[in-house]
Structures are given as C-alpha cells and as structure tokens.
Amino acid sequence: MSISAKDVMNLRNKTGLAMMECKKALQEANGNVDEAETLLRKKLKGKMETKSDRVAGEGRVEVAVSDDGSSAALVKVKAETDFTAKNEKFIDAVKKIAELALNCDSGSVEPTDEMKEIIDDLRISTGENISIDQIEMFTGEAGQTHYGFYVHHDGKTGSLVEAQGDVDGEVLRQLAMHVTAVMPRPLGLTSDDIPAELVEKERKFRIEQAVESGKPQEIAEKMVEGGMKKFFSEVALLEQAFVMDPSKAVRDMIGGAQLSNFRRWQVGEAE
C-alpha cells in the first residue's frame, strides 16, 4: 500500500528514528501509525537491551516537590553522551520521572512500569544506553516539613534540603545551592552524623601529626582536639560557613527551624 510522507514524518517525530525504519514499520502495519509505533517499540527494545553494558557517564539530576511542599523526589538518570543529556526530550523525560516518583513511598524507589516505558522511549529515540541510576522519595508533614532544592544549570549536580518548622523558602533554596557548591562537601548534618570510620581516620592522622611534631603530650592532645573541631566545622553541614556569607554558619540561616535531611547527587558519582 501507499504510505504518505506525512505519516512517515509523523512517526519519525514520535520515535526519533530514521525515515526508512519508520516507512518499513508503516508498511508492515498497513499504514496504521499507532500500530507501527508499537511494532518499532517491540523490535527496538530488544536491540536496546543489548547495549546495557555500554558506559553511560553522562546524565541529569532532577528534583520534584509536591504541590503542598511536604514531599519531594530526587532522581538521577544516566545517558552515554552529553549531547543526549542536554536534549530537551531527555530533560523533559527526567522531570516526568521525578514527578511520577512523588506518588511513591518514602525512601529508595524502584522504577515503576511507567518510568521504565519513558526510559524505553529514550533508548529507542537516541540509540543510547539510558537508565535510571537512582530515585529517592522524601515525605514529611504538610505545613511542618519544607523542602528546598537546586539543580545546577548543566543538570549534572542537584541538591535537596529538608527542614522542619517555619523557614523561608528562598533560604532553603540558598542552602541547597550551598550544599551543591561548598567544598569540602558536607558529610552529615552534625558532627554526630559523620561516618565513624572517617572520624577515626581523621583523628588517627592528626594524632600522628602531633606525635611527629615532638610536642609534649598535653599540647599534642590539645592540637588533636582543635584539629578535630576544625574538621567537623568543614564537613558537618550545620557547622559549615555559609557560602553566600562566610561570616555566618549554616545553622544561623534557619532561625528557629531545624534542618532534618539533605542530599547532594552528581552525575558520574556513586551515592
């Protein structure tokens, strides 16, 4: 049967595939565009699965917050090339996955069938190994829990902060920017949240430094104590100097509210 150029172009726009592939699918589907799209999906999904071992070092981080502001979702999707990661269709797809995640339970989220279908569409249209790297859902109490987030302009880094109590939304956004930009990166909210093995490693290093300096025991102990305080002020979020005003600590920015959680995700980094 005769296949119109308009139908071929329509199918190409929907799938992102080559004109000849679209025309063949339409011929097989007797001109039915929807059936042709289904045929392409079935054929090419299998082909895409064989590419799952290819390195996907690019991608995008995205955040979605519920209408009442009491829940938020953080998503990271991987792609093979920066070109694809910056493509409008890819960006919209990652945002859609983040919005879908708002309907999931708190904690680490397994991709739903609808999310997997979005990824399959991207795999078919780009020919790349695209996959959901991580999804995490946060849920609080309406009117009490608030979220601030920031995604860097290139989409490769995103941060989320969670607070309890009365706090300005712009302040939370600035704190999310702080988490994204500050170096060293925060490892916990307070010194108690820093992983014990890291604390022990740092303490051991400072003890060795003090011993090698030849200082008396009493002075060496004070050196270690002072050094650990400095360490905690650098890696505990609430103790860090606020990047936009280093004269203040992060804890000074939230008034009577309480920071209860944060995340910083970056493409190419394991969490």
Where in the chain are the domains? 5-49, 58-181+256-266, 195-234
The whole-number pLDDT of residue 243 equals 95
Topology of 195-234 in CATH?
A: GTP Cyclohydrolase I; Chain A, domain 1 (1.10.286)
| Whole-Å CA distances, 180 to 92, 155, 158 | 22, 12, 7
Per-residue confidence (pLDDT) for residue 219, from 0 to 100: 80
HSE value, Cβ hemisphere, 13 Å, CA-based, for 156? 11
Can you give the pLDDT at residue 46?
Answer: 61
User: DSSP readout, 160-189?
Assistant: EEEEESS--HHHHHHHHHHHHH-SSPP-BS
| Contact of 167 with 146, CB cutoff 8 Å | yes
pLDDT at 265: 97
d(CA 58, CA 80): 6
> In percent, how much of the chain has pLDDT > 90?
62
Q: Which of 55 and 44 is assigned the larger pLDDT?
A: 44
Contact between 258 and 164 under an 8 Å Cβ cutoff? The reply is yes
For position 50, what pLDDT does the model report?
59
Q: Ranked by mean pLDDT, which of 55-59, 141-145, 176-180, 203-207 comes out on top?
A: 176-180
Mean confidence (pLDDT) of the chain: 90
Q: What is the pLDDT of residues 89-133, one digit of tens each?
A: 999 999 999 999 999 999 999 999 999 999 988 998 888 889 999
Q: Is the pLDDT of residue 52 over 80?
A: no
pLDDT: which is higher, 242 or 268: 242
Fold of the domain spanning 58-181+256-266: Tetrahydropterin Synthase; Chain A (3.30.479)
Quote the pLDDT of residue 150.
97
> Is 83 a residue whose pLDDT tops 80?
yes
Rg (CA), the chain: 25
- State which CATH number among 1.10.3470.10, 1.10.8.60, 3.10.580.10, 1.10.8.10 fits the domain covering 5-49: 1.10.8.10
What average pLDDT does range 28-50 have in this prediction?
Answer: 78
Name the pTM for this structure.
0.79
For residue 67, what pLDDT band results from cuts at 50, 70 and 90? very high
Greater pLDDT, 235 or 43: 235
Tens digits of residue pLDDT in 162-217: 999 999 999 999 999 999 999 989 999 999 999 999 999 998 888 888 877 777 77
Helices vs. strands in the chain: H and E counts, helices first: 9, 9
